[in-house]
Structure 1
Amino acid sequence: MPGVPRSKGCQTCKRRKIKCDETWPTCIQCRHINADCPGPTSLVKFINNGSHRDSHSPPSDGRRSAFKSPPLQTQASGSSTLQLRRVYYPNVDDRSAEYGLLQVTPPRANPTTLAERVATRLVGNLDKGANGITSLQMSYLPQLPSRLADSPCLRDSVDLFCAAWTDFRRRQPQGELMAMPQYGKVLRSLRRTLMSEQALKVETLAAMVLLERTCKLFDRGKFSSIHHQGILQMMERKGPPDLNDDLDITVTNEVHGLMISGYSVASCASFIEKSEWQDVMQKCAFKHPKVSNLEPLTSIDLMIVYDFSRDIFSWLNTMHQIRTDPHGDENEAVSIIFEQKLRDMLTKVRKLAVESFGLAMKEGAVTERDDPTSIVGKRMDFKGALMCQVFMSLHLIQMTALRMLYEMSIVYGSPDPELWDQFREVALDNWKAMPYILSLESIVASNAVATVFISYEAGNEEEKLYLQNVMLSVDEYLGRYPKDRAVLDTVILEAGKLLTGRKPVLKDLPNNS
């Protein structure tokens, strides 16, 4: 029996006697030396009960005709299909048979173009699990491999994303993302595309959105919102999405998520208020592929979250207007209307949270149990990271509304302690999810801690220290938050003011919110 390879590492790494990381189509070691990676070594095992012949010549025609190859057989093994077939080996001498048994997995076509290689790399790295990276604002990723051939800028953007993601997972000692050669290549490719007839294609918008998200997730330097305005301007020029194109739908939903995340894009996003956009955006939201992964929540339930997300900019601006001049000519009337809006939204979201998560817990999609590592002594677990994000979003809406209502009670001279108590109660419930968040891959976990910025104010000194530890834990590799506890305390508190309309100018949110 010939020796069986112990790993699928490429032959180049084996000849150099170094460990291959087995990331295809090109492993990191071959990429470093600029060599053509031969790909994985096949794990082939010959099954034979005889001894090897001295002669390398094949058997006589008579003997060969006595052992004809049977038809190809298949059998399931895990998630792969195994093909079993008899094959002739000239070096095998078995008086009872001239065929060994070869066990192989179905061959995969070798990528021949750059677009195919990039697509293969994305598919190979893409975590399709419930806790993977597509649970973030990246539901368009599965649509991309089939769209790379006709869009060089999208191909280059995917290549940068894969390189940055691979380095992050391996904790490679890398500096800022902008220093990577792939980053400059994407910018040059985008520049050429924007000057061509492909400028207004959905693939071009997707390339810009993926570039922004790559910077947001993986840049170890200070994150910049430099790409935001360009994305919104491109979206406006391109026009409403094609509801028959899944990529257009998913990219539109992600851009809308960009708008409602609190970035300084309010003035550039005014086009979204036009009637021709409102209807199609709502239809896109209902077609969002993530909705199917959130049972027992329904799309109708999620539209409540959508309504809040759509209105958040006007909320923040109204809150700032009232705080700036509470007794102005129109502001007292504005405050009465605004307070009622906040209370109506709070009522709807509370009802949704109680009913939907009560049902989710009954069906096992959400569970609660004791946990001594949790600051509140209990923890919530979820069937997937996306379910956790909805849970956190419902808390975020409630805390935002309650903190604004409490602030208005202060502005008009009658602080309402009951509103603060309700605010703290929601914060305590929200913190039950922190142990689960810490169990996720840090790139996913970092996207789920936005509620810390608002809930932090509600904590005592011990609870604030716990929340700081959560944030520093998920930020361990990227290092965007200050390690100095006093400085971090200030950063979180200032972010909370920004998210509840208590800052004078709507600036960029903290990097991981």
Structure 2
Amino acid sequence: MPGVAKSKACANCKKKRIRCDQRWPTCSPCSRSSTVCPGPSSTLKFIQHLAPSSDGIPGGKRKTPVSSKAAHPFAVMVDRGHLSPYNNGKAVHGSFRLQVPRFKSTTTVDRVSAQLVHLLEIKERTGLELPSYLKFVPERLSHSACLADSVALFYLTWHQASRGQSQAKVLESRTYGRALKSLQRAVNSQAVYTVETLTAMVILLGLTVHYKPFTLIDYRPHTVAIRHVMRQLGAPQLESSLHIGLIQSTEGLIGGHFESPWKETNEILQSQSGNSERREGEKEVEEFARASLEGIMAIFRPYLSNILPRVLKIWKDPIAMRESQESVVQDILEVRGPIETARKDVWEACSSPGFMVELPEPTFFLGHKITFTSTTIANYVLSLTMMNISVLAVLYDVQNLYGTENKPARAEYQGLCLQIWKCLPYLETLDSATSTRLLKSVASVFEHATDEEIGSILSTNLEWSNLGAKSKTDREGFRTEVVRISNLWYSRGSGRPEQVYYTLRPAHK
């Protein structure tokens, strides 16, 4: 078979008739399209020049015996195509397929490691932001079963995303249950105070925050556990790339609830890199905002556990709960006062020195934007603002349900929602994990947006798929998910107030 090149292009590239660069185990065209590359092609074309026939049988019709075994023990012929005449019967051409050996993972760790390496190579095609520390994980998978299971769950999430399927379904999968059980076994063993277990905890919390509706009490036990493990581990090892990679991720995940035990190390690294120069007084403002939020949480948690269940009963049976309405309203008003005072104090403390600034932004549909000098300050400001928005919305709902429209509460609610909207350009500057978490926390502020405003909101460079929008134009999916989260936040149950869509934009817009 001289003179005929053997094509090693993968089957996908052959089928699409495109050039395969044969960069195994995944060629570039398959990598760009996020498809599984089958590897080197096992189909070889050949042309066999025939000698003059001595028996009178035309060369193209002669039955040439073909052995099913090749000289190489792994190159086994498993199929042969039809032989056809070529060059006026002087030769025949056809093809045969060889069984090409492929690498097979022998252990779960091998399989998960290969998946993670594949994911890191083609992350730009997934639309899913990958934590920076993941590239330091493969070599540690064999040391921790819970880390391997959590990484497998992360890969499943990417797998769903790359195929346009619902990523949130991973939280209903067996892989998610396996990861939780594996982490539980690690926590109950001597392996709890290891960086591998900490990484698994951070991955699971990140996925949960990413896909589950945001509530202030859902994640507290998990964040407390992460902080505890970090404290027991002590200061992160600066020579460990995985430790360094975890610093920023844990800061973003637990920063809204507690001060990270590794915060000082993070500040040292930032000062060394010169990427984050802290302005004078910024640390003091952060401390004041954190103390204010912790103080308000002491009031807000009883509100969540005591008042909101009574609100839910009102929605389920307004007639039977009519006599309780006044006491519920009074309890809401008692909570609202301190929350509003704390919000105003923090806003003033952040705005005066310029750590929170409203600026003109002609490219944004509102014409203005609010920006922050640090994500920590943004966390505190948004958290306190959302607490106030939640209380105002519940107060208006309950009073409106019994025929009393509280217009001042509605106007204040609208004004605070508008302030949150103006923060969208700032969220565009954050990493995907942080911006998605903050978007989840403020989702209810989009409940009464008009269709035109939703279109403008979805056009921003943010990941809206986790709020129901399958595309930049999926207004209905977005609205449905936002209303669902709002009903959860405001304890409406299956009930739903009359939907009024009003514009929050300034009059001149």
TM-score (norm 1): 0.51
In the other structure, the counterpart of 1:321 is 310
Shift of 1:16: 9.3
Task: Indicate if the aligned counterparts of 1:319 and 1:501 stay in contact, CA closer than 8 A.
Answer: yes
Following TM superposition, by how much is the alpha carbon of 1:479 offset from its aligned partner in structure 2, in angstroms? 6.5
Q: Is the 8 A contact 1:148 1:155 kept in 2?
A: yes
- Match of 2:369, SS state, is strand
- Determine whether 1:493 maps to 2:487: no
Mapping of 1:444-463 within 5 angstroms?
A: 444-450=434-440, 453-457=443-447, 459=449, 462-463=452-453
The within-5 A match list for 1:128-147 is none
- Matching of residues 216-295 of structure 1 within 5 Å: 217=210, 243-245=231-233, 285=259, 287=261, 289=263, 295=282
The structure 2 residue matched to 1:299, chosen from 287, 296, 305, is 287
**How far does the alpha carbon of each residue in 1:243-270 deviate from its partner, in whole angstroms, 9 at most, with x for none?**
433599x99x979979x99xxxxxxxxx
Question: Secondary structure of 2:200's partner?
Answer: helix
CA deviations on 1:43-77 (whole Å, 9 max, x unpaired) are xxxxxxxxxxxxxxxxxxxxxxxxxxxxxxxxxxx
Describe how 1:190-205 pairs up with structure 2 within 5 A.
Answer: 191=181, 194=184, 198=189, 201=192, 204=197
The question of whether the paired residues in 1 share the 8 Å contact of 2:371 and 2:423 is answered with yes
Report the CA distance shift for 1:400/1:15 in structure 2 as closer, same or farther (over 3 A). closer
Are 2:146 and 1:158 aligned? no
Give, in angstroms, the shift of residue 320 of structure 1: 4.3
User: How much has 1:323 moved relative to structure 2?
Assistant: 6.1
Please state how far the C-alpha of 1:417 moved relative to its aligned partner: 1.4
Report if aligned partners of 2:235, 2:262 keep a CA contact under 8 Å in 1.
Answer: no
**Structure 2 counterpart SS, 1:379:** strand
Query: Which position in structure 1 is the counterpart of 2:338?
Result: 344
**Partner residue of 2:366?**
376
Q: Distance in 1 between matches of 2:208 and 2:260?
A: 28
CA contact (8 A) 1:322 1:335 kept: no
Q: 2:287 is matched by which residue type in structure 1?
A: S
| Code of the aligned partner of 2:189 | Q
Residue-pair matches, total: 368
SS at match of 1:359: coil
What letter corresponds to residue 449 of structure 1 in structure 2?
L
- Residues of 2 paired with 1:229 and 1:422: CA distance? 28
- Asked if the contact 1:423/1:458 (under 8 Å) is kept, the reply is no
**8 Å Cα contact 1:308-1:397 kept in structure 2:** no
The verdict on how the C-alpha distance between 1:312 and 1:147 changes in structure 2, with shifts beyond 3 A counting, is farther
Match of 2:352 in 1: 358
The 1:492–1:247 alpha-carbon spacing in structure 2 relative to 1, beyond 3 Å, is: farther
What is the Cα-based RMSD across aligned positions, in Å?
Answer: 5.9
3-state DSSP of counterpart to 1:503:
coil
Do 1:208 and 1:231's aligned partners in 2 also have CA atoms closer than 8 Å? no
Q: Does the CA contact (< 8 Å) of 1:409 and 1:416 recur in 2?
A: yes
What residue is the counterpart of 2:406 in the other structure? 416
Change (3 A) 1:310 1:354: same
Residue 232 of structure 2 aligns to a residue whose secondary structure is: coil
Whole-Å separation in 2 of the counterparts to 1:356 and 1:224: 28
TM-score scaled by length of structure 2: 0.52
> Is the radius of gyration larger for structure 1 or structure 2?
2
SS in 2 for 1:447: helix
> For residues 480 and 209 of structure 1, what CA distance do their matches in structure 2 show?
26
> For residue 200 of structure 2, what is the aligned residue in structure 1?
207
Equivalent position amino acid for 1:345 in 2 = I
Can you list the C-alpha shifts for 1:485-506, whole angstroms capped at 9, x where unaligned?
Answer: 345434323422321233369x
User: Partner of 2:364: helix, strand, or coil?
Assistant: coil
Choose the corresponding residue for 1:430, options 403, 408, 420: 420
Secondary structure at 2:363 match in 1: coil
Cα shift readout 1:233-292 (whole Å, capped 9, x = no counterpart):
9989x99767433599x99x979979x99xxxxxxxxxxxxxxxxxxxx8x546473996
Distance in 2, Cα, partners of 1:320 & 1:392: 24
Alignment of 1:168-207 (within 5 A): 172-173=162-163, 175=165, 188=178, 191=181, 194=184, 198=189, 201=192, 204=197, 207=200
Greater relative CO (CA pairs within 8 A, separation 6+): 1
CA drift at 1:428: 1.8
2:464 equivalent in structure 1: 475
Aligned residue type for 2:232: N
Percent of pairs with identical residues: 17
Match of 1:40 in 2: none
Give the C-alpha shift of residue 355 in structure 1.
Answer: 1.5
- Return the letter of the residue paired with 1:244: Q
* Closer, same or farther: CA 193–351 of 1 in aligned 2, 3 Å: closer
TM-superposition CA deviations, 1:106-162 (whole Å, max 9, x none): xxxxxxx979979x969x89x9xxxx979xxx8998998997664221134235536
Q: Which amino acid aligns with 2:422?
A: K
| C-alpha distance after superposition, 1:299-337 (max 9, x if no partner) | 341233345556655434513414634866766445423
Q: Show CA shifts across 1:350-389 (max 9, x none).
A: 210222133244xxxx554322332321123344555544
Distance 1:303 1:432 in 2: 25
Amino acid corresponding to residue 313 of structure 2 in structure 1:
T
Q: Is the 8 A contact 1:301 1:352 kept in 2?
A: yes
Give the whole-Å Cα distance in 2 for the aligned partners of 1:484 and 1:230.
Answer: 29
